[in-house]
Amino acid sequence: MDTNSNSYTLIYATIVVVIVAFMLAFVSGALKEKQNANIELDKKRQILSSLQIDTKGKDVASLYDQYIVKGLVINYKGEIFSESKKEAFNIELAKELTKKVEDRRLPLYIANVDGETKYILTLQGTGLWGPIWGYLALNDDKNTIYGVYFSHASETPGLGASIAELPFQKQFIGKRILNDKNEFVSIAVMKAGKKAEGKDQVDAVSGGTITSKGVEAMLLNCIGQYVQFLQQPTTGGMNQ
C-alpha cells in the first residue's frame, strides 16, 4: 500500500487521534473518582495540619470528622449563610476572591482540640511564580494563632518553597493578629533583624523575599475578610 498518498495520511491521522482520544477519555473517566477523593483528602489533611495534627500514615478522613466539629459559610460582614460543614468545605476561596468583597462567601471551620475551640480561616494569595495558600487556626480568643499551614504551587525549591516547611510555620504559633488596642494589624513577615512597628512579626525566608511578601499580603487580605466576624462579641449559636 502507498503510505505516502494524501488519503492514506488523512485516514491514518484521523484513526490515531480517535483511538488516542477514546483511550484518554477512558483513563480519565476511570480514575476521576479516585483523583477527586485524593484532592478532597489532601484538603482535609491541609486543614488538619493547621491544627498541628500529624496525619502521616493515619486515616485523614476520620481524623477530620473527629476534630472539625462545624463549618460555617460567612460574608465579610460576619453574617452566617450556612452552618453546613460540607458547604464550607466545597467553597474554593480562589474563585471567591475574584468576586467583589460584598459577594464573597467565606469558609470557616470550627475545630475542637482537647476540649478547646479553634477557628480555622482559609488563606489564598500569590507568591513569586504562582498561587500560595494555607489555613490558619486561631485560639478561642480569636486573636492568638494556634497554628498555620502554608503550601504553594511552584515556588523555588529550597528558597520560597520553605514557606511550606515546619521551621517557617512554627514561628507563627502564639503570635497575635490584633494589636494592644484590639485593632486588626495582621502579622508582618520581616527580614531577620528588622523590626515591624506595632504588630507581631516572623522572620522571612532568606532568598525568598517575594514569596515572603506574598505570605504577608495573603495574611493581611484574607484574615482581614474575617475580622468583622471575629470581632463580634457573640458568635451566634456556637456555645454548644
Q: Are strands 68-74 and 201-203 parallel, antiparallel or unpaired?
A: unpaired
Residue number with CB closer to other proteins (155 or 216): 155
Composition of the chain by helix, strand, coil, percent to 5: 40, 25, 35
C-alpha–C-alpha distance, residues 199 and 187, integer Å: 6
Closest approach, Cβ 21 to other proteins, in A, equals 9
Enumerate binding residues for other proteins (CB under 8 A): 3-4, 8-9, 12-13, 16-17, 20, 23-24, 27-28, 31, 34-35, 38-39, 41-42, 153-154, 156-159, 206-207
Closest approach, Cβ 164 to other proteins, in A, equals 10
Closest approach, Cβ 165 to other proteins, in A, equals 9
Residue with cell 500569590: 126
Closest approach, Cβ 44 to other proteins, in A, equals 12
Determine the distance from the C-alpha atom of residue 43 to the mean position of all C-alpha atoms in its chain, rounded to a whole number: 8
In 51-92, alpha helices (H): 60-67, 85-90
Residue number with CB closer to other proteins (24 or 101): 24
Closest approach, Cβ 151 to other proteins, in A, equals 9
Residue number with CB closer to other proteins (118 or 152): 152
Q: Please return the burial class of 172, using the count of CB atoms within 10 Å of its CB with bins 0-12, 13-18 and 19+.
A: buried
Determine the distance from the C-alpha atom of residue 54 to the mean position of all C-alpha atoms in its chain, rounded to a whole number: 17
Paired strand residues for 112: 117
Residue number with CB closer to other proteins (4 or 98): 4
Residue number with CB closer to other proteins (60 or 121): 60
